Amino acid sequence: MNVDVEKVVLENAPGNAKYIAPKIQKEILHIFANKVRKKICEEVGEDGKFCILVDEALDESQKEQMAIILRFVGHDGFIRERFFDIVSVHDTNSSTLKTEICKVFDRHTLLVKNMRGQGYNGASNMRGQWSGLQALFLNDCPYAYYIHCFAHRLQLALNVVAKDVGVIWRFFSMLNNIVNFVSASAKRHFELKLTRKAEIQELLDAGKLGTDFLCQALQSKSQDIVSALNLVSSTKMKLDELRNNG
């Protein structure tokens, strides 16, 4: 589809360049990620002011990670929030988190002195007045005020309110038990996946779920954009119907 790529690929590796090796895919993703980050830095500006939003999460292998989001006012005057990076950390001590965030800033020429806000959850390692992450950054930049993440505050409020509603409390208690029961056993988890796969196959055989047609169309070498759009639209309608009506 691209003349420049065709000249290189088809002349040097005809029919053999599929780019499905994990190493090559990671290299391509790394290139894309750096281009996106470069664009975000251009949006912030060389001496632009920004806030950071940071949250901790576990990946599929239960490895600690830290997500970094930049919040700033764009050149058009509108507030922007951009997912900037995700970093693996060996622990979640405030000093470790600060060190890793500063490394990210240094790689992309973002200055700590230009920080104008910090948004984290309410954990002690994040909001601690003396040794929390927000306090460590305030020592370097007195204008980087800390705000307890509104989404996290809303989540805490909903949790408290939900516990006073019997039906909701029972539902989530039962759901929690089911998740624990299934995830505690690899065999049960595998059996659940097989059952779900069989259910989806029945829907496909009955013509009630057209995702297979969409998948086949998107994998074809030549694309008809109008047909692809129609398939996406019809598949979305079928998924909405499945979600609403079971």
Those residues whose C-beta lies under 8 Å from the C-beta of residue 46, and which sit 6 or more positions away, are 109
Comparing CA positions, the residue from 23, 27, 43, 33 lying closest to residue 107 is 33
Q: Same domain, yes or no, for 150 and 214?
A: no
132 near 148, Cβ under 8 Å? no
Q: Same domain, yes or no, for 146 and 215?
A: no
Comparing CA positions, the residue from 152, 154, 83 lying closest to residue 120 is 152
Q: Give pLDDT, residue 188.
A: 87
Q: What is the CATH number of the domain that holds 115?
A: 3.30.420
Residue-range definition of the domain harbouring residue 246: 209-246
Q: Same domain, yes or no, for 50 and 148?
A: yes
Quickly state the pLDDT bin for 46 (edges 50, 70, 90).
Answer: confident
Q: Same domain, yes or no, for 141 and 215?
A: no
Residue 228 belongs to some domain of the structure:
yes
pTM score, two decimals?
0.65
Q: Give pLDDT, residue 31.
A: 94
% of residues, the chain, pLDDT over 90:
37
% of residues, the chain, pLDDT over 70:
93
Q: Which residue has the higher pLDDT, 2 or 141?
A: 141
Residue 3 belongs to some domain of the structure:
no
Q: Same domain, yes or no, for 57 and 126?
A: yes
- What would the pLDDT profile of 56-108 be if each residue is shown by its tens digit? 877 777 788 999 999 999 988 999 999 999 999 888 899 999 999 999 999 99
- What would the pLDDT profile of 182-203 be if each residue is shown by its tens digit? 888 888 888 888 888 888 778 7
- What would the pLDDT profile of 149-177 be if each residue is shown by its tens digit? 888 889 889 888 888 888 988 998 999 99
**Paired residues of 87 in beta bridges:** 66
Number of domains in the chain: 2
Residue 182 belongs to some domain of the structure:
no
Question: Is the pLDDT assigned to residue 211 strictly greater than 80?
Answer: no
Q: Exposed e or buried b for every residue in 78-113, given b needs 16+ CB within 10 A?
A: eeeebebbebebeeeebebbbebbeebbeebebeee
Q: Give pLDDT, residue 34.
A: 94
**Paired residues of 3 in beta bridges:** none
Q: Same domain, yes or no, for 63 and 138?
A: yes
116 near 50, Cβ under 8 Å? yes
Q: Which residue has the higher pLDDT, 18 or 3?
A: 3
Residue 71 belongs to some domain of the structure:
yes
Question: Is the pLDDT assigned to residue 53 strictly greater than 90?
Answer: yes
137 near 116, Cβ under 8 Å? no
Q: Which of 51-60, 191-200, 220-229 has the lowest mean pLDDT?
A: 220-229
Quickly state the pLDDT bin for 225 (edges 50, 70, 90).
Answer: confident
Q: Which residue has the higher pLDDT, 225 or 72?
A: 72
Q: Same domain, yes or no, for 129 and 218?
A: no
Residue 166 belongs to some domain of the structure:
no
The overall average pLDDT reported for the chain is 86
> Which two three-digit tokens encode residue 66?
């830290």
